[in-house]
Structure 1
Amino acid sequence: MENSIYNSMIAATQLLNKQTIIANNLANISTTGFKEKFNYILQNNSIKNLHNTYNKIAKEYYNLSPGTLNYTARNLDLFVKDNGWLSVKDINGQEAYTKNGHVKINSARKLTIQDNELIGYNCNITIPNNINVKILSDGVITSIERKKHEIFEKKIGQLKLVRLPIDDLIQKQNGLFYLKKGNELFHKNHNFIDHDNNVRIQSGVLETSNVNAAKNMIEMISNARQFEAQMKMISTCDKNYEYANQLINVNN
């Protein structure tokens, strides 16, 4: 009977964790470039008794398929094609990656995404005052100035664009993705990977969240019902304990 209670308790905890992930998906349904997350319960085959709930492990997966495209016509809105990613520096100075291409210029004239500075390819990018900025498909940033009747373009720098292995990605609370330590793409003794010349971007376009609202709502309802069933199981086992104790006391 103790095993039944313990199994139900572990199952309920796993369902709560899964529910948290689903709630986060739904909360970010309008977040630019957000990628849907899933939590699957897997059997741990290394344990002898494979039928116990507590021998199962939870693993997170990311749906990295593209969301729908929103054509904004804004030069600093970027869509990274295929499995390419933008590189940013988080608040701790660590390199991270994102599909959110809503770029802004901060007070220090740096390009940022959600206050994280965009990383340049072998350069530090600073945007001069009073110019129009154009970002080409290969990430090259140019300034456009009109002087008299002529237009002058000048290269400011280039965005660092990378291609990442899907299976080695982890997402942190800040919403950014990171490459797992020890991956072969990492430079030795450094926490960064190389720029990929084949990654292409498109300006004037934003990728919306790829969260499927209907699917997540169905999963949330299903999880709630499973959680309720586990709670009933615990309650039933608790009552059985009480009946068993009463019988023992009567017999004594």
Structure 2
Amino acid sequence: MNLYSDTLGRGEDVVWLHGWAMNGAVWRDVANALANDGCHHLVDLPGHGRSGSEAPLSLDMMVDALDAAFPLPVHVVGWSLGGAVAAAWALRSPDKLRSLTLVAASPCFMQRPDWRSAMPETTLAQFAASLGDDWRGTLKRFISLQAMGDESARAVARRLGEELFEHGEPSLSALAEGLAILRDTDLRERMPLLALPVLLQFGDRDTLTPLPAGTWLAQTLPQAELVVHHGAAHVPFVSHRDAFIAAQRRFFATL
């Protein structure tokens, strides 16, 4: 499988992974600001943007594609669904990742009896059910949910809406399969095995991956640093761009 990616900057390789239904364009402003801090690969995940997929999406399939596309060790930044893919990649191939940044990403995106810091099962089920009837409207509602509570909610929603189809329209099957990944993924038992430097960037107003999920990760991962962006929801790299970039630059400088 050929993964599409835009590459900019120079230095050590950094792979950036977006969230559900989006594409690598969401990272462009951040990567431009960090162009002197690394060679940045803004990836379209399989089934998203300009990266096609002939097989059903799964966490393992996405990891396979990334592992093949980037044979040398890299730094990885993953947002939301991209964070789950990044964590799974680090668990599968610990020699491939030099560092890991999880942005509003959880080891378990759906609530379980022993895990409340996540989306209710009904929320994911409603999005999955509405895809067939009005997938465009479903994506707009999901964008609104990502921005909800943010002190810059309108600007965040507008920005994500502008970038949503920048690399083409997603396929309906990929959208449904991506939601299934969010529903089924639970990496909690394996997360303590991540023995590499990890930066956690979370917003304290995030309703999709609430801050307690980030706190749990900070307490569970052996080499984790948690940065909390106050007033941010699910997209701190847009709403709190300068603070996000500063935290990322500090983290890269320590490696």
TM-score (norm 1): 0.20
Higher relative contact order (CA 8 A, sep 6+): 1
Of structures 1 and 2, the larger Rg is shown by 1
TM-score (norm 2): 0.20
